[in-house]
Structure formats: C-alpha cells, structure tokens
Amino acid sequence: MDNIKGISMKLKYRVSILAVVIIVFITMISCMSCSVKPVKECPEDLTVEFYWTTPPLSPEYNYYYGIIVGPGLQGLFEYQPGYPDTSWEPLSPDVWEVSFEVSQDQADHLYQLLIENDLFKRRWQTTDEVAEGGSSSSIKIIANGKKYDKIPGDSEIKPEDRKNVDTVSRYLREMVPTNIWEEMQELQSQFEKSYIDE
C-alpha cells in the first residue's frame, strides 16, 4: 500500500513538473509572437534613407548629403552646399545627384545591421540634453511594406541607441564609392572658393 502511495506521489510530482514546463514554453512562444521582428531574408522593398547636415555654419561651409539605398540593388547619393532656402549670394547650386550600384551582399549586410542594432523598433528614448549647434542626421526605413520614419537624430537619443544608429550610419557611408566622396569634396571646395572670389 505504501509502495502504491509512493508511486502515486512520484507520478503526481512528474505531472506537475511537466505542466509547469508546458506553461513556461507556451508563455515563451506567445511572448515571441508579441514582438514582431522582421524576417531575416532581405526584403525586395528595403529602402534606407540617411541624411546628414553640417552644424549651422556660414553659407560657404554649410552643406548636406543624403544616401538612399534601395529599393533593390541601387543607391543614390545627393549633395547640396549652402543654404538653399535663402537669398545669400552666390545662390546654392542645384542638388548634385549620382547613382551607384549596391551588391546583394551589401544589401543583405545592411538589413542584418538594421536588425542587430534594433532600428526596427517603434519607440526611441530621447535624451533631455539635446546638443545645440552640432550636426544633425536622420534615417528612414521601408521594409516588408512597413515604414520606420521616426528614428531621431543621433544628438536626440540615449547613448546606447546612438551607438546602434552610428553603426548603421557608418556602414551606409561605406557603401558609397570613394570616387563619389572625392567628387563631393571637390564640389564643396569649389563652392567655398566661389565665396572668396565674390
């Protein structure tokens, strides 16, 4: 009789442990489905726009550039010096645009960086101490039919998020061929010289 009670107790103990394991497993599965993560394969509509602007400077030294990657295996670099919405002389030239090719490996790596650095999250913690007078930047993303266009500039977000955004920004700059950067610097030098010649 005692032997049967012992077996019965062991069986109940094992059943209760199994029930706990099943509950924990179901909870984990449901939590994973709550946090919607993009699929790992680079989507065809992946588009990333990165814009960077100098700190507020005198017109000849002020400029912005943009790097647009996608959709597909294409890239576009744009640059404009000066303050285009003002009447300062000489006037800012039109936006200079040049396209460049993007390899599938580069697009895949960019997508993985976006995932690893958590740029698909919807909420960003902003800092109370926004740096004034510094450069500004922004990133917009389209992936899997969704828009992620509320990524604050790196001067507005917490240091831990800033590091992640900087990692992606650095890679986007690296995707632009060296000759394009060199040509942009030459155009900027010419624009600065146009002020001296006035």
Residue that is written with structure tokens 């800033």 in the block:
162
Q: Domain range for residue 11?
A: 1-35
User: 64 or 30, which is more confident?
Assistant: 64
Shared domain check, 3 and 61: no
Shared domain check, 29 and 52: no
Shared domain check, 79 and 169: yes
CATH code of 88's domain: 3.30.1560.10
Q: Which of 197, 194, 186 is nearest to 91 (CA)?
A: 194
Residue-wise pLDDT for 146-178, tens only, equals 998 777 776 677 777 888 888 999 999 999 999
Shared domain check, 57 and 26: no
| Over residues 88-114, mean pLDDT | 86
Shared domain check, 1 and 57: no
Q: Which of 195, 189, 174 is nearest to 75 (CA)?
A: 174
Tell me whether residue 154 is exposed, middle or buried, using C-beta atoms within 10 angstroms of its C-beta: 0 to 12, 13 to 18, 19 or more: buried
Residue-wise pLDDT for 40-68, tens only, equals 688 999 999 999 988 788 778 888 899 99
- Whole-model pTM? 0.72
The answer to whether the CB of 175 falls within 8 A of the CB of 67 is yes
Query: Quick check: is 142 in a domain?
Result: yes
The answer to whether the CB of 77 falls within 8 A of the CB of 185 is no
**Average pLDDT taken over every residue of the chain:** 79
Shared domain check, 55 and 24: no
User: What pLDDT is recorded for position 123?
Assistant: 72
User: What pLDDT is recorded for position 8?
Assistant: 58
